[in-house]
Every structure is written in structure tokens, then in C-alpha cells.
Amino acid sequence: MIRVSVDPAPIELGVEVAALEARGAGGIATFTGVVRTDDGVEALELEHYPGMTEAALCALAEAAMDRWNLLGATIVHRVGRMTAGERIVFVGTAAAHRREALEACTYLIDRLKTDAPFWKREWLAGGARWVEPRATDAQAAAHWL
Amino acid sequence: MAITMLYFAWVRERVGIGEEVIDPPEVVRNVADLIDWLSRRSDGHAAALSEPAKLRAAIDQRFVGLDAELGNAREVALFPPVTGG
């Protein structure tokens, strides 16, 4: 079962994990991305491409379901403005055993960074700046090809 | 044929709008041609599109290279490299 959500509302971790546990899996793996509190960043703004974003995330979740023996895959990405310490993204996988769940969870967050149309803008005391992609993200995503 | 253009992030800011409908001539065959043609529409377009190497594209909501043929594209998006997650 796949759940994909792109929403300005805060991510409810307990609700998402409970839904994965209800799949009857032996193992749940999760990753939560949080707005950094370093570098003087006061807020983060996430822009996305409505329609394409949801389709790209569904395609990633389906690829993970095919590649590993998963009982569930969840991708929840927040959009809009959020402040330091708030959750940006949640990825969760449910499988019979830990290895499938852990590997699929890593795969999803690695590929999400390069394969879904989101753009981050950091707000600092002096103004705003668009975040540049990191070469290490592209390498991590390419590792799964 | 009319194409809906979408711009995101700093490309949208520099162009000055997020969306417009265009009708490029037949000589505009691929995404790189389109970027070149669009860059002459306004100072904002020129500022956003002057360095194609910094741009990424999607045709009908699928990522493509700048050498991709437009074909019967209905929606083309131009944007910086993605930074989600």
C-alpha cells in the first residue's frame, strides 16, 4: 500500500508510523527530515510543481514496492513556509524483515532528493537565498541505478 | 501549437511570472531552442534563461534533457536543479 502526500500542514509522525504498523509488517523503517537550526536560517520555504510532484513521488514509491518486498511505503513532504526544527519530509517503509524496510527507506529518501520537483529557499536575517543542489545528493541517488 | 510554460523558483522570480501561454514558430524544435527563443521575450526572460546549463526542464510533467524534442508538448516547465527532501 502506497501513501503519498504533499501538504502545507505539519507532518504527524505518530499517525504516519501507526498507519505503517497497521500493515502487519515485522519491521518499519522511517526517515524524518527536519529544518536545520544552524547557519542562521530562520525559516525554510518549499516550492513544488503541483501535479508532477505527486506523480513523481508515487512513481518512486511504486519502484520501491517492486524492488523490495514491501507491505507499505509512505512519502509525506511538507510545502510552504516552515521554521527551524519543524519536519520537512517523512519516508516510511513496512516489510516482513528489517533489511527490506531499511534499504527501501534509504532508496526513497536518496531518490526523492533528485527525482521530485521541489525547491528550497532559506530565509535569513539579511534576506532569502535559493538552496543549491549538493553533488553528494546526486551521487547517493545514482548509487541505486 | 500553443504551449503552456511554467516557471519555478528563481526562474519564476526572474521571468516575473509563473505561467504563460506561448506559440513558438516551427523552427523551435527542442527545449534548448525554446529557451533561446523565450529569452528574447523580455529582460526578465533574458535574466532567467541566459545560462541554459543552470536550467532543468520537464515536458508534460516528466523530466527531460535540454535536447528533448518538443513534439506535441502541451506543458513545458523550466526550473533550477531540484532541492527537495
Q: Kindly report, residue by residue over B32-72, the tens digit of the pLDDT.
A: 999 999 999 999 999 999 999 999 999 999 999 999 999 99
C-alpha cell read off for A74: 509512505
Domain count, chain B: 1
Q: Is 80 exceeded by the pLDDT of residue A38?
A: no
Contact at CB, B84 and A133, closer than 8 angstroms: no
For residue A110, with 0-12 CB atoms within 10 Å meaning exposed, 13-18 middle and 19 or more buried, which class applies?
A: buried
Question: Could you tell me if A77 lies within 8 Å of chain B, comparing CB atoms?
Answer: yes
**Does B85 reside within a domain?**
no
Higher pLDDT, A143 or B36: B36
- Residue showing cell 516550492: A47
Contact at CB, B84 and A113, closer than 8 angstroms: yes
> pLDDT, tens digit, for every residue of A111-130?
999 999 999 999 998 899 99
| C-alpha of A48 from chain center | 13
Residues of B with CB below 8 A from A116's CB?
82, 84-85
Could you tell me which residues come within 8 angstroms of residue A145 by beta carbon, excluding any fewer than 6 positions away?
Answer: none
Query: What percentage of residues in chain B have a pLDDT greater than 90?
Result: 99
> How high is the pLDDT of residue A39?
76
Give me the residue from B10, B58, B61 closest to A130, CB to CB. Answer: B10
The number of residues making up chain A comes to 145
Question: Could you tell me if B82 lies within 8 Å of chain A, comparing CB atoms?
Answer: yes
Question: Could you tell me if B53 lies within 8 Å of chain A, comparing CB atoms?
Answer: no
**Does B31 reside within a domain?**
yes
Q: Whole-angstrom Cα distance, residue B8 to residue B57?
A: 10
> pLDDT, tens digit, for every residue of B13-35?
999 999 999 999 999 999 999 99
HSE-up of residue A38 (Cα within 13 Å, Cβ side): 0
- Residue showing cell 521530485: A116
Give me the residue from B6, B58, B80 closest to A119, CB to CB. Answer: B80
Helices (H) and strands (E) in chain B, counts: 3, 5
The predicted complex's ipTM stands at 0.95
Q: Is 90 exceeded by the pLDDT of residue B82?
A: yes
Query: CATH number, domain at B10?
Result: 3.10.20.30
The helix or strand, by DSSP H or E, that contains position A94, with its residue range, turns out to be strand A87-95
In chain A, the domains with their CATH numbers are 2-142 (3.90.1170.40)
Q: Whole-angstrom Cα distance, residue B57 to residue B80?
A: 8
C-alpha cell read off for B37: 527563443
Question: Could you tell me if B37 lies within 8 Å of chain A, comparing CB atoms?
Answer: no
Which domain does B25 fall in, by range?
3-79
Mean pLDDT in residue range A19-25? 94
